[in-house]
């Protein structure tokens, strides 16, 4: 049984016969319980859980509940604060800098996005750079909060260095994703959510599990040579920026990842480049860190700060329909609108459950036992 | 004689022994004369000429004075208005929509960028979407205006459709460039200026002149097959989005080009997708155009709307130095900072002159004669 949408934009994990399906509400209740057990308030536990599981619903399995144990370990290592005092430390009518007080990014990011939305309601747009945070799940979840308010939403984050800029042997950038979510009228929103690398790290993990090789252009080995070995990062290799090599525009992917790093961290006072703290709690922290925690950047632009919302939505529908109805290359599927595969996945998983790999289920059961929380039955 | 910086980010045109060198002030005076002859005011002629020649100075020869005759033809065809009444048709504290009144983008864009900068001075950031404009030269010139004011500058534009989205046989997007320019302290600014395609159209023109093939991943033929023929666009082929193919992330380049199109045109009321008017005046206008002219989008973010400018610049210098000093892949040049090659080119061309191809010189001489303007001597 495989339910990967054929040729979807993201390499959504196929469901295999070993997976167990869990109803979203049960997995949500479980995740809330875990976050409460590690010291989060009821409200924060709920906020974090909804943000985290949005990845599972949208098919980005690498960033969902499979990472719950990673967040718990960050708290156990004293790297994530379950009771943060999140604050605005600088602001103007359309900007703010938020200090996350080392909180979970899953809690800090929704706060910061809300600030951006409230700024936009008054000033037309709102832009918030965040310091002293941790990993925030998927960018798409945060950007979509703005769409509910008839705003364009933008979310980006830096992350620990896995990517070698063009010509570099060293890893200096994270996969630094950008999401831009745009409301439409009768059509669903346009949601472009992309790592600024040729392939996200989650794709390598899938190849590792399947024992398959990566296409050339995704990774380089420890000597900077092109490689197809998806395990290369464990021995000093690196992911490559979008484009893959110089001839195919890797300097552009490098520049995009750099922009995310600068907006998220140099603007806010977080760590940047090779100094961004790692997600796995067992990886030592970088030395000589120039800032606080990891950084994010959020934007919200009110549509009617530019033109009447109805006009915009009418043209956005027209844009979407024209692209979706484009003549495809013979033998190919039809042209997709960014966000289509994730939205379809979400509808299916809400209806039929979220599939989890046996290894993930085992991890979560161990976590449940350790913290004295009931693990849900499959459903 | 070739002066292309080795491995520079952009494929800056090599100077060959047939080229003639022209001093920048002479070429500027000539260009101003031409714009005045076609009806521009003194001020607008100066504004347009400085913007246009910034491309020659920075080594983006495809977008500089070689296009002057193209702008004149747009005016002759009644597609560009030399005396536009540029106006703000909608605004909030941090946003505006500008109607370019069909003016030269080289005049409309500087106006709109100035509005963004003034908004940012008051509200922290300024964001301006533009309708009813024409081609604006290089994005980098406009974004850099903000840097002079200690702001981050952002500029983007849509353009006529030459690019096929992932899976599409049809060309639906322009090369839709994005520029982000960031001030630093002792270091020069970070200036990422990139077309959202694997390779800009100017690179194909260089290959055509040299009679060389393009790498796979740049273009597809009229049947959607990968091609290395740089003439493919003349017979129904298309440029490919950054990434090249689905396995290498072309859906990301497609999404980036789409974001530029939406911000520039769906927000402003300009034409988008396959309806963007072409630059060559002999190409018929698309039918059923949904908006006015082509669209741009500009942003300015005051650094001190986020943190003290001195702090930001200190960390930006640190960022730049860390990346520039990264260990390179053996056999490669050192890691570049976006903007390095163009800045070096500008210094050299200001000092030694701007090289023009014989064909470009002939075109310009013909134009000079037709309009009764003196063509400068090489220098």
What is the ipTM metric for this complex?
0.95
Please determine, for residue B83, whether its predicted confidence score (pLDDT) is greater than 90.
yes
Whether B327 and chain A come into contact, CB under 8 Å, resolves to yes
The reported pLDDT for the residue numbered A249 is: 96
Q: Is residue A326 part of a domain?
A: yes
From the list A223, A224, A252, which residue is nearest B194 (CB)? A252
**Hey, are the CB atoms on B316 and A246 less than 8 Å from each other?**
no
Mutate to test the interface with B, among A167, A173, A304 (most CBs of B within 10 A): A167
Spatial separation of the C-alpha atoms in residues A75 and B114, rounded to whole Å: 47
Whether B322 and chain A come into contact, CB under 8 Å, resolves to yes
The reported pLDDT for the residue numbered B15 is: 54
User: Which range among B11-20, B170-179, B232-241 shows the weakest confidence by mean pLDDT?
Assistant: B11-20
Mean of the per-residue pLDDT values of chain B? 94
**What percentage of chain A reaches a pLDDT higher than 70?**
96
A157, containing H or E segment: strand A151-157
Pure H helices in chain A: 24-37, 42-58, 68-76, 105-123, 139-147, 201-210, 250-261, 309-324, 340-352, 358-371
The reported pLDDT for the residue numbered B10 is: 41
Please determine, for residue A45, whether its predicted confidence score (pLDDT) is greater than 80.
yes
Task: State the pLDDT confidence band at B2, using cuts at 50, 70 and 90.
Answer: very low
Q: Is residue B2 part of a domain?
A: no
Q: Which residue on chain A is closest to B173 by alpha carbon?
A: A323
> Residues of A with CB below 8 A from B180's CB?
255, 259
From the list B246, B318, B333, which residue is nearest A167 (CB)? B333
Task: State the pLDDT confidence band at A20, using cuts at 50, 70 and 90.
Answer: very high
Q: Is residue B8 part of a domain?
A: no
Q: Specify which residues B239 forms β-bridges with.
A: B163, B219
What values do phi and psi take at B180, rounded to 5? -125, 120
Mean pLDDT, residues A282-310 taken together: 97
Q: Is residue A130 part of a domain?
A: yes
Alpha carbon of B261 to those of A287, B184, B236, B255: distances in Å? 42, 29, 22, 10
Helix (H/G/I), strand (E/B), else coil: A108: helix
Please determine, for residue B17, whether its predicted confidence score (pLDDT) is greater than 70.
no
Task: State the pLDDT confidence band at A200, using cuts at 50, 70 and 90.
Answer: confident
Spatial separation of the C-alpha atoms in residues A377 and A366, rounded to whole Å: 14
**What percentage of chain B reaches a pLDDT higher than 70?**
96
Q: Is residue A349 part of a domain?
A: yes
The reported pLDDT for the residue numbered B8 is: 39
How many structural domains does chain B have? 1
The reported pLDDT for the residue numbered A201 is: 84
Helix (H/G/I), strand (E/B), else coil: A282: coil
Residue with tokens 């009321």: B269
DSSP A214-238: PPTTSEE-TTS-EE--TTGGGGT-E
Please determine, for residue B3, whether its predicted confidence score (pLDDT) is greater than 50.
no
> Residues of A with CB below 8 A from B218's CB?
248
**Hey, are the CB atoms on A167 and B246 less than 8 Å from each other?**
no
The reported pLDDT for the residue numbered A10 is: 41
Q: Is residue B360 part of a domain?
A: yes
Spatial separation of the C-alpha atoms in residues A152 and A334, rounded to whole Å: 26
DSSP A159-199: -S--BPPTTBSS--B----EEEEE--SSSPPEEEEE-SBSS
The reported pLDDT for the residue numbered B200 is: 85
Range of the domain at A169: 20-371
**Hey, are the CB atoms on B306 and A273 less than 8 Å from each other?**
no
From the list A249, A262, A316, which residue is nearest B182 (CB)? A262
What values do phi and psi take at A155, rounded to 5? -140, 140
Whether B200 and chain A come into contact, CB under 8 Å, resolves to no
How do residues A331-371 score in pLDDT, each as one tens digit?
Answer: 999 999 999 999 999 999 999 999 999 999 999 999 999 99
Distance from CA of B16 to the nearest CA of A (A): 22
Please determine, for residue A54, whether its predicted confidence score (pLDDT) is greater than 80.
yes
Task: State the pLDDT confidence band at A205, using cuts at 50, 70 and 90.
Answer: confident
Whether B121 and chain A come into contact, CB under 8 Å, resolves to no
Please determine, for residue A5, whether its predicted confidence score (pLDDT) is greater than 50.
no
CATH classification at residue B117? 3.30.1370.60
Residue A178 token pair: 């950008």
Q: Which residue has the higher pLDDT, B204 or B47?
A: B47
Q: Is residue A6 part of a domain?
A: no
How do residues B144-166 score in pLDDT, each as one tens digit?
Answer: 999 999 999 999 999 999 999 99
Residue with tokens 């989650």: A202
Q: Is residue B80 part of a domain?
A: yes
Number of A/B CB contacts below 8 angstroms equals 280
Task: State the pLDDT confidence band at B203, using cuts at 50, 70 and 90.
Answer: confident
Whether B129 and chain A come into contact, CB under 8 Å, resolves to yes
Please determine, for residue A6, whether its predicted confidence score (pLDDT) is greater than 70.
no
């Amino acid at each position: 049984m495989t339910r990967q949408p054929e040729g979807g934009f993201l390499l959504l994990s196929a469901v295999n016969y070993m997976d167990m399906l869990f109803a979203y509400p049960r997995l949500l209740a479980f995740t809330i319980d875990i976050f409460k057990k590690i010291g989060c308030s009821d409200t924060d536990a709920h906020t974090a859980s909804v943000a985290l599981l949005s990845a599972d619903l949208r098919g980005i399995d690498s960033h969902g509940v499979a990472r719950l144990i990673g967040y718990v370990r960050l708290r156990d290592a004293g790297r994530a604060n379950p009771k943060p005092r999140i604050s605005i430390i600088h602001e103007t009518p359309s900007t703010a800098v938020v200090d996350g007080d080392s909180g979970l990014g899953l809690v800090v990011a929704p706060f910061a996005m809300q600030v951006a939305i409230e700024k936009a309601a008054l000033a037309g747009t709102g832009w918030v750079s965040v310091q002293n945070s941790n990993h925030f799940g998927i960018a798409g979840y945060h950007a979509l909060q703005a769409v509910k308010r008839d705003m364009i939403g933008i979310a980006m984050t830096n992350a620990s260095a896995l990517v070698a800029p063009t010509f570099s042997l060293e890893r200096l950038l994270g996969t630094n994703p950008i999401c831009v979510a745009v409301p439409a009228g009768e059509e669903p929103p346009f949601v472009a959510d992309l790592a600024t690398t040729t392939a996200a790290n989650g794709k390598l993990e899938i190849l590792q599990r399947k024992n398959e090789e990566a296409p050339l252009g995704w990774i380089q080995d420890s000597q900077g040579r092109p490689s197809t070995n998806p395990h290369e990062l464990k021995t000093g290799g690196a992911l490559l920026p979008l484009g893959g090599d110089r001839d195919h525009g890797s300097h552009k992917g490098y520049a995009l990842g750099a922009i995310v790093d600068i907006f998220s961290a140099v603007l806010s006072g977080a760590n940047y480049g090779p100094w961004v703290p790692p997600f796995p709690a067992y990886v030592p922290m970088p030395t000589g860190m120039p800032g606080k925690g990891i950084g994010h950047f959020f934007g919200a632009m009110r549509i009617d700060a530019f033109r009447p919302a109805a006009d915009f939505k009418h043209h956005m529908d027209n844009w979407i329909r024209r692209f979706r109805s484009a003549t495809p290359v013979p033998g190919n599927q039809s042209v997709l609108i960014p966000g289509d595969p994730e939205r379809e996945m979400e509808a299916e998983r809400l209806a039929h459950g979220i599939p989890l790999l046996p290894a993930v289920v085992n991890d979560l059961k161990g976590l449940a036992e350790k913290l004295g929380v009931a693990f849900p039955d499959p459903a």
